[in-house]
Structures are given as C-alpha cells and as structure tokens.
Amino acid sequence: MFSILVIASVIMMISFIVMILASILSKKTLVDREKSSPFECGFDPKSSSRLPFSLRFFLITIIFLIFDVEIALILPMVIIFKFSNLMVWTTTSIIFILILLIGLYHEWNQGMLNWST
C-alpha cells in the first residue's frame, strides 16, 4: 500500500514538473501582427479568415454528445443484468433513466429542442 502511494506521488510530481516546464518554455515574448495574420500569397487578406459560427449548432452538438455517452452507459446494463441483484439493477436503471428524462425535460423547457428558430 505504501509503495503505491510513493509511486503515485512520484508520478504526480513528474507530471507537475513537466507541466511547469512546458508552460515556461512555450511562452512567446514577441507578438508580431504579421505572423499572427493568415497568409494569402504575401497580400493582406481580403476578408476575415474566420467563418461565423452558429452557437445553436454548437449547443445541439453538445446535447447530441451527452445523449450519445448516455446511450453508451445504458447498453452495458443489459449485460450486467445476469450478474447483479435484480432489485439493485432495477433501482439503478430507473434512477439513471429518470435523470436522463429530467435533463431532456429541462432542455425542452429551455427551448433547446426547437429546431426551426
């Protein structure tokens, strides 16, 4: 048990030192406007290089990712059904699905599922 704590503390210390060194060595001291602008064959760019980004698209993507991860968590419940206590499995499944439904209701109530606007 003691050796695991020592190894974990050594790993944490090495990680901390590497992060500190990376942040110190990666600092740029000189900010050049020409180097930070997009390159168009030596000419100044005619328009903005950044396209406008829809915040609505971003939020819908986040909702999709959340529900995608939740589906990945629900699928193993079928496999675990044979090996676990029926009451514990049922309670856990109902609580998990209830949390999903409460989240879905909240998103619906906030208007996030209105695709047309």
Does the pLDDT of residue 10 top 90, yes or no? yes
Q: Which residue has the tokens 């419940």?
A: 77
Cβ proximity of 117 and 68 under 8 Å:
no
Q: Which residue has the tokens 């020409």?
A: 34
Structure tokens belonging to residue 72: 């990945």
pTM of the entire predicted model: 0.48
| Rounded CA Rg of the chain | 25
Q: Which residues contact 77 (CB under 8 A, 6 or more apart)?
A: 89, 92, 93, 96
33-86 pLDDT, tens digit per residue, is 666 666 666 666 666 666 677 777 877 788 888 878 888 888 888 888 888 898
Structure tokens belonging to residue 41: 């064959």
Considering the domain 2-110 in this protein, what is its CATH number? 1.20.58
User: Count of CB atoms within 10 A of residue 59's CB?
Assistant: 13
89-102 pLDDT, tens digit per residue, is 899 889 988 998 89
Does the pLDDT of residue 16 top 90, yes or no? yes
Question: What is the rounded distance in angstroms from the CA atom of residue 101 to the CA atom of residue 105?
Answer: 6
